[in-house]
Structure 1
């Protein structure tokens, strides 16, 4: 039995690993910082201490590049590295596949190559793509394919501060801009009715959904929507939200009140918060929050296990032919 299948083992849906050697790529629309790597033995020790049975890995290496061939080359390196890590320890790791957007045909080919093979939990989409919306009509084929697969999409900021000097010129790109990216990406999906048009896709919005929990009533009252469309708050409550909140109980309570304990999954942003707190403390904020025991159990253990079907880990060759 995998560790993640044992009662009381946390599934961390938001953990990073950057393939070595790729470094940074100059792209003004995606300026992601690379987390400092550590030996995987140290990672496993931290996981054991924190009670984490499984991490879902994602890379912050930029793959949204103007040149299609370069984007494909980089994304294959990223996905093959993450898949290799999962193959070495399939009971403790899965990964979110990166895509070479905005190149839709190449992205669909990469999805065909990667998804369905061991370790692939779904895809990661940046909260914007080269300064444009991820809910743009041109990306509908990506959503259609994920709908066909009944897949999971994990959103992640690209750290561009919404391309706003009002955010970036004062150094607020990461500390505040990232959560604003989360909120805007979710709002774009709602505005373009992506969840309604592709209802089998499950979305994970990071960082408790940013400012979204505080906006639901206002969105219902003021957000434009076609006649007969669902209320924005109802659509927002279909998303899942991870618990990366830097220990903020206010953020936890706001998300819980807005979305309910069945829509919140454990996440850490590993290893980013290690300079702020221990890996174990990141989840201890939830377990010691004073929430009802059932809510804590859902957030830390049950929701991600159901969402990711962690019992269905299969072995197959990698890379796929």
Structure 2
């Protein structure tokens, strides 16, 4: 297998890989996509109203999205059901745009999408954090609309996940047993002169994801609220590379803290309770590292459409379906089976695309 740059295959080569009769092909496994996005018209208008044309420096600007285009991509790569969310910059857009209104409209659009295409879509609720009263009110409203879970940015206005101000929300998410997808955004503090003009999605997203997950664990938030099913994006970002280093620092810190009984939770054990999606370019390097400390039943598929465009998404899907890093049974679990633990709704929904 070549390890050259992305977009190295022709359309015919991608099609061959998607249809390869290896026991984990499109014709045998209809995938569940736990990490994809939508940009309904009201949200696109809110971005324009806020003057946002290149969210987080995204090189292609605001991606084009429509329901037919999303369904077409799902058919192309063999996705039965996609669980969609609002991506960065979320619903707090600045420029005088009301985040409560933006969240409400996004969640209504998600409910409409699910109702109009039963079995093909679920949606994560968007919440107008860090306003706790408004966020809890919208959580009630969006779950009544049928949201399958909640998507939270790594931080909103500098309030990172694990911050004590978010404690009421995490308590409620745990009480409801909801699935929570973390999604990265540009870090709260920029470093002037470092990679100016480049999309933050290239590298800063991974550092911000890592930062917020560490904070969730060290703050004890995940330990206090075990009912949450947390999905960490992009194969764990930088966590696979740093996990053992952080664990050793926990050991040393806990030896010091033992006398005052303020021990930190085990870092690796906390990570192993989380789920990890494979959105983005995670092969051939990240997946083997992730598998070295996380059980394969906690790894799920994500397309990141439309921020990962249709052609690259097709290539990444084909790469995953034919990768040597995963066995056939692991591919089946990652592409489909594991998602049923996150979303009981899947068992109750009518079947979408034919496997």
Same fold (TM over 0.5): yes
String of CA shifts for 1:217-251, please: whole Å, max 9, x gaps.
Answer: 11111144564443111101111111023252111
CA RMSD of superposed structures (Å): 2.6
Match of 2:209 in 1: 182
- Which has the greater radius of gyration? 2
CA contact (8 A) 2:73 2:310 kept: no
Match of 2:98 in 1: 70
Unaligned runs of 5+ in 1: 1-5, 315-321
SS in 2 for 1:169: coil
Note if 1:18 corresponds to 2:39.
yes
SS in 1 for 2:265: coil
CA contact (8 A) 2:232 2:275 kept: yes
2:342, 2:311 → 1: CA distance?
29
Match of 2:316 in 1: 282
Distance 1:146 1:302, change over 3 A: same
CA contact (8 A) 1:15 1:270 kept: yes
SS in 2 for 1:272: coil
The CA deviation at 1:32 is: 7.4
CA contact (8 A) 1:31 1:160 kept: no
CA contact (8 A) 2:114 2:120 kept: yes
Q: 1:8 aligns with which of 29, 45, 48?
A: 29
2:294, 2:156 → 1: CA distance?
27
CA contact (8 A) 1:161 1:174 kept: no
Unaligned runs of 5+ in 2: 1-26, 351-355
Distance 1:39 1:63, change over 3 A: closer
Q: How does 1:99-248 map to 2 (within 5 A)?
A: 99-118=127-146, 120-160=147-187, 163-165=190-192, 167=194, 169=196, 171=198, 173-223=200-250, 224=253, 227-246=262-281, 248=283
TM-score by length of 2: 0.79
CA contact (8 A) 2:161 2:213 kept: no
2:343, 2:334 → 1: CA distance?
14
Note if 1:264 corresponds to 2:299.
yes
CA contact (8 A) 1:123 1:154 kept: yes
CA contact (8 A) 2:39 2:86 kept: yes
SS in 2 for 1:163: coil
Distance 1:66 1:307, change over 3 A: same
TM-score by length of 1: 0.86
Note if 1:299 corresponds to 2:334.
yes
The CA deviation at 1:171 is: 2.7
CA contact (8 A) 2:157 2:188 kept: no
The CA deviation at 1:275 is: 6.4
Match of 1:317 in 2: none
Q: 2:117 aligns with which of 80, 84, 89?
A: 89
The CA deviation at 1:88 is: 0.7
CA contact (8 A) 1:206 1:243 kept: yes
CA contact (8 A) 1:161 1:172 kept: no
SS in 2 for 1:273: coil
2:292, 2:128 → 1: CA distance?
36
CA contact (8 A) 1:157 1:182 kept: yes
The CA deviation at 1:172 is: 5.6
